[in-house]
Amino acid sequence: QSAPTQPASVSGSPGQSITISCTGTSSDVGGYNYVSWYQQHPGKAPKLMIYDVSNRPSGVSNRFSGSKAGNTASLTISGLQAEDEADYYCSSYTSSSTLVFGGGTKLTVL
């Protein structure tokens, strides 16, 4: 099972919006509405930001949103803030009854 593809890095200025993509196949991202997104700051455990493509857990800012079209899921962060600088990972359930993470994207707030 190959990992979904994420851009290695993205950047944006405070107040801007950025989008991180997560491209898989019809056997994972495209086949199920079970894509999640995690934020990880250096030295910390990941934090669940989006689940089941577009749902936010309680306590997560509404600046974070998720969507999916075909085999590509996306995480959009609006009103970028310095504290958003972190690594972001997507994950997806797969047809092999496993879970797979994307390779991760480093977000830099300029």
Partner 1 sequence: EVQLVESGGGLVQPGGSLRLSCVASGFTFSGCWMTWVRQAPGKGLEWVANIREDGSDKYYVDSVKGRFTISRDNAKNSVYLQMNSLRAEDTAVYYCTRAYSSWFARNFDYWGQGTLVTVSS
Is residue 57 within the footprint of partner 1 (CB under 8 A)?
yes
| Residue at token pair 């089941």 | 52
Separation of CA 107 from chain center = 11
d(CA 73, CA 35): 7
Q: How far is the CB of 98 from partner 1 (least distance, A)?
A: 6
Is residue 74 within the footprint of partner 1 (CB under 8 A)?
no
- Residue from 10, 31, 46, 64 touching partner 1 (CB under 8 A): that is 46
- Residue from 28, 29, 38, 68 touching partner 1 (CB under 8 A): that is 38
Beta carbons of 89 and 46 less than 8 angstroms apart: yes
Q: How far is the CB of 89 from partner 1 (least distance, A)?
A: 5
- Residue from 73, 93, 107, 109 touching partner 1 (CB under 8 A): that is 93
Rounded to 10 degrees, the C-alpha dihedral 93/71/35/99 comes to: 20
Separation of CA 97 from chain center = 20
d(CA 37, CA 86): 12
Is residue 31 within the footprint of partner 1 (CB under 8 A)?
no
Interface residue list for partner 1 (CB under 8 A): 1, 3, 34, 36, 38, 40, 45-46, 48, 51-52, 57, 89, 91, 93, 97-104
